[in-house]
Amino acid sequence: MIRKITEWSRRNYYLATGILMFFSFPSYDVWFLKGFPLFAWFALVPLLIYVRKGDFRRVYTASFLAGALGIFLTYHWIGDFGNEVPGGDIVILSFAISLLAVVFATKILAAEFLSRRFERLRPLIYPSVWIVVDGIQSIGFLAFPWTYWGYSQYPFTAFVQISSFIGIFGVTFIMILASTAIADYLGSALTRPLSFRWMLSIPAFRRLLLVAALIAASVVFGALRMATAPAGGENGRLKLAIVQSCIDPWKAWNSNKFTYLAELERLTDAAMKEAPDFIVWSESATLEFISYNFITGNMNPFTGEVLNIARENKTPLLTGEIGVLEDRYGRRIYPQNNAVLISEDGEPVQTYPKINLVPFGEWFPYEKWFPFIKRITESFGASSFVPGSAPSLFELKGRRFGALICYEGIFLRLCRRYRVMGADFFINITNLGWTHTYKGHMQGFASAVFRAAENGIWFVSAGNTGYTALVDPLGRVTSSIPILKKDYLVGEVDFSMNRYTFYSAAGDLVLYASLLLLAGLGAVLIKQRIHGR
């Protein structure tokens, strides 16, 4: 029995990548798990050693299986969206895991294909292919830039600082570079009897030392940046009250909305004792046509009460709503997932319709060609929103902020665009209660740390069930509410800590350099093929 297990492990050790991947990504916000992201630095090593041998079918099969295992263990909560339908979780998980595993395996296959033709460039090819595919994964209807490898490092604030120069793509590049260097070294060292002197003399060891020096320099830079950052001042502060009311996303809205509103009002009243300048509720706090009802004069008791809360407290309120987009004839109405700013006079003054809708869950633009898919998504409780067309900044007490709805915090280009437009801070209103896991909340929040550090401004996360927190321009969490706890948070955003960053000015230069490298290698291969004929 032991021999069989040993033989199986020897043949399938690449599956260790899937298990290490599970350990690498955030799951619970507790201190003893914050060291687990260190696994991400070598999680890929078993697979990268395995795929160096054999044909490309072996490469793709092993990569797909290892990826599917890791993705299932890490993102299994995605299936909870279909829990209300018998077998719905299995359908969603099967589709999501298969799709993400194909993306994962494609990265390895493409990188290995190029590396075997340009062996000396292997250490650069793997991270270049990886982040280029990540970049592709962030565009189009199926955009889902949730799974970036670099997000695993969000607890290591000193290392996160390098993202202010190279962004999350650069952070991911360094991590995949490190995994490749470790795999190359171990792959070379294990090809012959171990000799300490020989192991220190091979080229792979020198490359490993260079990568280690790069990582060390990044950490030292980050530590110095944090140590020398200004502590902030008394001027330029905004006091926020964020309410986490833990509304059940699966209960019928219409029959429970006044109960939910009473809880929101109770928590808001408690927060108002600390005299905040601004109140923030979550994405799903008020699923009504607030701004449309106000504009058309078709006020209902719920909308009136929401507006009255801002008016009585004489404090602006940001919350979620169902927006309305009319056609040019005013005859057909399209719903949108909106953030709405209500003034201290109790009037909706500005809205932002979510641009990056969740594929299948919030919209399916191909209903005309695939009506059966639309029917399936609706049976799971999916929405039928239409996306907004352009980002816009909100004005508040002389400051400007970019609103992000649901998972828009993972869309780095949108956040950078807000910063270029002049945003002083981000506010992300979201609802991850449907995930039923701490893991889903923490993975969603990890990107907030990077968006703050990349752009040098505050990130305010306002979740229905969490993770509600204030993140300063260095990516440090200054205050938070535990996940799944009904509570409020009152904290200050100090704008004197804001700073301009190289990344917000220059963008994803590491990604563009990787594209150029791969384009150049592709051109060489094409030229070789032509001359070979």
Q: Express each pLDDT in 304-356 by its tens digit.
A: 999 999 999 999 999 999 888 887 666 677 888 999 999 999 999 999 999 98
Query: To the nearest whole number, what is the mean pLDDT of the chain?
Result: 88
Rounded to an integer, the average pLDDT of 182-205 is: 71
pLDDT at 33: 63
Helices (H), 289-380: 290-296, 301-313, 371-379
Give the integer Cα–Cα distance in Å for 229 and 217: 18
Residue 533 pLDDT exceeds 60: no
CB atoms within 10 A of CB 43: 27
Q: How confident is the model at residue 9 (pLDDT cuts 50, 70, 90)?
A: low
Rounded to an integer, the average pLDDT of 166-191 is: 90
Direct distance between the N- and C-terminal alpha carbons of the chain, in angstroms, rounded to an integer: 54
Give the integer Cα–Cα distance in Å for 280 and 134: 32
pLDDT at 19: 92
Q: Express each pLDDT in 411-456 by its tens digit.
A: 999 999 999 999 999 999 999 877 777 888 888 899 999 999 999 9
Residue 109 pLDDT exceeds 60: yes
Pick from 54-68, 178-192, 303-317, 436-450: least confident: 178-192
**CATH 3.60.110.10 corresponds to the domain 238-355+393-500:** yes
Hey, is 357 helix, strand or coil? coil
Rounded to an integer, the average pLDDT of 135-143 is: 86
**Unique residue bearing structure tokens 């190359």:** 184
Q: Express each pLDDT in 230-259 by its tens digit.
A: 776 666 789 999 999 988 877 777 888 899
Rounded to an integer, the average pLDDT of 3-10 is: 70
Q: How confident is the model at residue 361 (pLDDT cuts 50, 70, 90)?
A: confident
SS3 annotation, 118-170: CHHHHHHHHHHHHHHHHHHCCCCCCCCCCCCHHHHHCCCHHHHCCHHHHHHHH
Q: Express each pLDDT in 211-225 by its tens digit.
A: 999 999 999 999 999
Residue 130 pLDDT exceeds 80: yes
Q: Express each pLDDT in 15-49 by its tens digit.
A: 999 999 998 887 665 556 666 888 999 999 999 99
Residue 386 pLDDT exceeds 60: yes
Residue 116 host element (H or E): helix 88-117
Residue 153 pLDDT exceeds 70: yes
Residue 198 pLDDT exceeds 70: no
Residue 389 pLDDT exceeds 90: no
Tokens coding 272: 């108002």
Q: Express each pLDDT in 260-287 by its tens digit.
A: 999 999 999 999 999 999 999 998 888 8
pLDDT at 237: 87
